[in-house]
Amino acid sequence: MLSLTIDGKKVEAEAGWSLLDTARQHGIDIPTLCYHEAVEPFGACRLCVVELKQGNNSRLVASCVYPAEEGLEVFTSSEKVNSVRRWILEMLLSECPASREIREMAGQYGVNTTRFEVKDPEEQCILCGLCVRACAQVVGANAISTVGRGAQKEIGSPYLVPGEDCVACGTCVTVCPTGAMGARFERVRGVPSVIMARPGK
């Protein structure tokens, strides 16, 4: 067992646990968006950042991917941590304002409005990539991926046409933290050959 402190509390962790695993095991809450037990951690949403202090040095790490180490001093809601979370949530409010989950989470951090321009009031997708990873790692279908880069990035099937690799299992819809995949499902859903005969083939 490894021993470390989280928010001043001494806790133990098994080798191989992440800081997030350790915190949750001890009932310490850390918010996450791109994390799900069913798939490999991704470290993308950065909501789960925590502050590591070593002497006078401190840095932020994503707790979902950072391993528990002996003697670490971890802070889950320091001012530095909360500032990053508030900024991410405020930016998400402008990026996907239709998401109730994001509005609620932002509210918990005192972020109720956004100073940034809302581009699409209907948007819910936060681009956490959970749908993509569940499709690859849980279903094994690899039917969808992120398409494009940076601000142009979106979730889609190859060439943005409904693909034959999709078995219409709905795992992506289930795993989606904001319900965005429900609205997109028809755009990626294929016609599973095992269930239905494909017309013309």
Partner 1 sequence: MQVTAKNSADMRLGSLEELEKLRSELLAAEDPDQTKIIVCHGTGCVANDSPSVTKALKAALAAAGEDIKVMPGIKTTGCHGFCSRGPLVIIKPSNIFYQQVKPGDVEEIVQKTILTGETVDRLLYVHPQTGETLKTTEEIPFYSGQERVVLSNIGQIDPTDIEDAFKAGAYAGMAKALTNMEPGQVIEEVTKSGLRGRGGAGFPTGLKWSLAAKHQGGQKYVLCNADEGDPGAFMDRSVMEGDPHAVVEGMIIGGYAIGADTGYVYVRAEYPLAIKHLVKALDDARAHGLLGENILGSGFNFDIRINRGAGAFVCGEETALMRSVEGKVGEPVPRPPYPSDKGLFGKPSVLNNVETWANVSRILDKGADWFASLGTEKSKGTKVFALVGKVNNVGLVEVPMGISLRNIVMEIGGGVPGSDHFKAVQTGGPSGGCLPWEDADLPVDFDSLIAAGSMMGSGGMIVMDERDCMVDVAKYFLGFLEEESCGKCFPCRLGVPRLRETLNRFSKGQGTLEDIDDLYSLAEAIKAGSLCALGGTAPNAVLSTLRYFRGEYEAHILEHRCPAGVCKDLITYSIDPEVCTGCRACSRACPQGAITGEKKKPHTIEESLCIRCGMCMESCKFGAIQVI
Of positions 12, 14, 120, 153, contacts partner 1 by CB under 8 A: 153
* Count of positions (residues) in the chain: 201
Least Å distance, CB 57 to partner 1, is: 13
- Total site size for partner 1, rule CB under 8 A: 35
Q: Which of residues 111-140 bind partner 1 (CB under 8 A)?
A: 115-117, 126-127, 129
Least Å distance, CB 191 to partner 1, is: 26
Of positions 110, 113, 149, 159, contacts partner 1 by CB under 8 A: 149
Q: Which of residues 1-60 bind partner 1 (CB under 8 A)?
A: 42-47, 49, 59-60
Contacts of 55 (CB under 8 A, 6+ apart): none
Q: Is the distance from CB of 127 to CB of 155 less than 8 angstroms?
A: yes
Please report, to the nearest 10 degrees, the dihedral formed by the alpha carbons of residues 46, 52, 58, 62 taken in order. Answer: -20
Report CA torsion sign: 8, 2, 32, 92.
Answer: positive
Which CB, 116 or 161, lies closer to partner 1? Answer: 116
Of positions 84, 98, 169, 173, contacts partner 1 by CB under 8 A: 84
Residue type, 169: C
